[in-house]
């Protein structure tokens, strides 16, 4: 019976060893699956990061372009202000020098010209078209030579 017992112990030992190896094999397969999933997630994250990096680069380029445009607009605006101030000074000098020009500048605008400056609050092109077509429209210019 001792040989039989040794054989049973040997078979039990082999079975437990086989079971242990099968368990290690299952853990190894699970680790490989987890590694593959992790690698796929890493690749997806790298792809997303590359895409976001290109978007950020594009946005920085757009921001730089917009800032340059704003700087150019400010420069143009300053130049226009200087030109307008210069013209205003010339006009004021002319008014002081010329009595006829001073009298002309002091007159109120004609009714048609005043109506050009009076507009209701308009919201969109359709409202502007309706306003122009309505009673507030300025009549067509007449030939002043005939009147």
Per-residue pLDDT of 108-120, as tens digits, reads: 888 888 777 776 6
Q: Determine the pLDDT at residue 92.
A: 86
> Between 140 and 137, where is the model more confident?
140
In this prediction, residues 112-137 reach a mean pLDDT of 74
Residue 128 structure tokens: 């502007």
Q: Determine the pLDDT at residue 140.
A: 63
**Is residue 127 classed as helix, strand or coil in its secondary structure?**
helix
Q: Determine the pLDDT at residue 17.
A: 93
Q: Determine the pLDDT at residue 95.
A: 79
Q: How far apart are CA 145 and CA 143, in angstroms?
A: 6
> Cβ–Cβ contacts within 10 Å for residue 2, how many?
6
Measured at the alpha carbon of residue 134, what is the angle toward residues 107 and 132, in degrees to the nearest 5?
Answer: 65
pTM for this model (two decimals)? 0.43
Q: Say yes or no to pLDDT of 64 above 80.
A: yes
Q: Say yes or no to pLDDT of 77 above 70.
A: yes
Q: Determine the pLDDT at residue 146.
A: 47
Residue 21 structure tokens: 């190896």
pLDDT-derived band at 147 (thresholds 50, 70, 90) equals very low
Q: Say yes or no to pLDDT of 83 above 80.
A: yes
Residue 100 structure tokens: 């006829």
In this prediction, residues 129-145 reach a mean pLDDT of 64
> Between 95 and 39, where is the model more confident?
39
Residue 29 structure tokens: 């397969």
């Amino acid at each position: 019976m001792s040989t039989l017992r040794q054989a049973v112990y040997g078979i039990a030992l082999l079975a437990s060893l086989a079971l242990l190896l099968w368990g290690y094999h299952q853990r190894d397969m699970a680790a490989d699956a987890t590694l593959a999933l992790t690698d796929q997630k890493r690749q997806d994250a790298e792809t997303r990061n590359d895409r976001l990096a290109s978007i950020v680069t594009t946005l920085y380029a757009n921001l730089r372009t917009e800032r340059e445009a704003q700087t150019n607009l400010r420069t143009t605006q300053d130049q226009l202000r200087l030109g307008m101030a210069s013209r205003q000074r010339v006009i004021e000098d002319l008014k002081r020098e010329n009595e006829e020009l001073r009298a002309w500048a002091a007159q109120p605008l004609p009714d048609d010209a005043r109506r050009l400056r009076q507009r209701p609050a308009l919201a969109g092109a359709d409202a502007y078209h309706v306003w122009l077509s309505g009673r507030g429209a300025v009549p067509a210019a007449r030939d002043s030579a005939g009147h």
